[in-house]
Amino acid sequence: QIQLQQSGPGLVKPSQTLSLTCVVSGDSVSSDAAAWNWVRQSPSGGLEWLGRTYVRSKWYQDYAPSMKGRITISADVANHQISLELKSVTPNDTGVYYCARDNSGWFGWFDLWGQGTPIIVSS
Amino acid sequence: AVRITQSPSSLCASIGDRVSITCRASHSLGSYLAWYQQKSGEAPKLLIFGASTLHIGVPSRFNATKSGTDFTLTISFLQSEDIGTYYCHQYYNEPYTFGQGTKLEIK
């Protein structure tokens, strides 16, 4: 059974860096049919795509313009995990963060999601 | 970015009813739209991709259609387990965007 298991700090202080991991079991993060995404959900419920990483001969990353300059998404193949780093967080970064797999073979829908990591940005 | 307007924001219906949720896109998306169901405290779950293709294991009472830039999710014969919030998601181009969500409750 394929699973995405997330972990993270829960509480982050303003101006610090948020780091989250997503361990993939039952699938390979280096699959050339998959893309690994991060999506967050605000306290009011809105979903926002943050970015993704994927390998097609080499690793690529695509980021939402609203996140560029602050976000890094990377893959650790040996440890079967995907990571998100978000720098200089503010209270606006509070929400639930999800990793999600796109296994469409190109760039498409998200067929598998992690359980979510609630993050509060507060001093 | 593609804007999606989802309606209604909430819906209350009875068991056995037929309900519909609509997403209207600001640009043509082709068929690059998915629908998700999210239950309280859980991650979203894929229902539909390609505007109208049911994901594996999704009950056949879920149906989705496309007309131009309007996309509609219909649940026939509403069941109690269908309560939750429904979101559409366009993957036509980046940044991917989502509808605002429709909260479905049972009367």
**Residue A105 predicted with pLDDT over 90:** no
A-B CB pairs within 8 A amount to 55
Reported as a single tens digit per residue, the pLDDT across B7-26 is: 999 999 999 999 999 999 99
- For residues B13-40, average pLDDT: 97
Residues B88/B74, Cβ–Cβ less than 8 Å: no
- For residues B35-62, average pLDDT: 98
- The pLDDT score that the predictor gives to residue A68 is 81
**CB distance B49–A62 less than 8 Å?**
no
Reported as a single tens digit per residue, the pLDDT across A22-35 is: 999 999 999 999 99
With cut-offs at 50, 70 and 90, classify the pLDDT of residue A37: very high
Rounded CA-CA distance B52/B61 in Å is 13
Rounded CA-CA distance A83/B61 in Å is 37
Q: Tell me the helices (H) and strands (E) count for chain B, helix number first.
A: 0, 11
**CB distance B55–A111 less than 8 Å?**
yes
Average pLDDT, chain A: 96
How distant, in Å, are the alpha carbons of A69, A122, B47, B60 from that of B23? Answer: 31, 35, 15, 20
With cut-offs at 50, 70 and 90, classify the pLDDT of residue A86: very high
- The pLDDT score that the predictor gives to residue A84 is 98
**CB distance A49–B43 less than 8 Å?**
no
Rg of chain A (C-alpha set): 14
- For residues A106-117, average pLDDT: 96
Category of B73 on φ-ψ map: left (φ > 0), alpha (ψ -120 to 50) or beta: beta
Nearest chain B alpha carbon to A108: B91
Residues B68/B60, Cβ–Cβ less than 8 Å: no
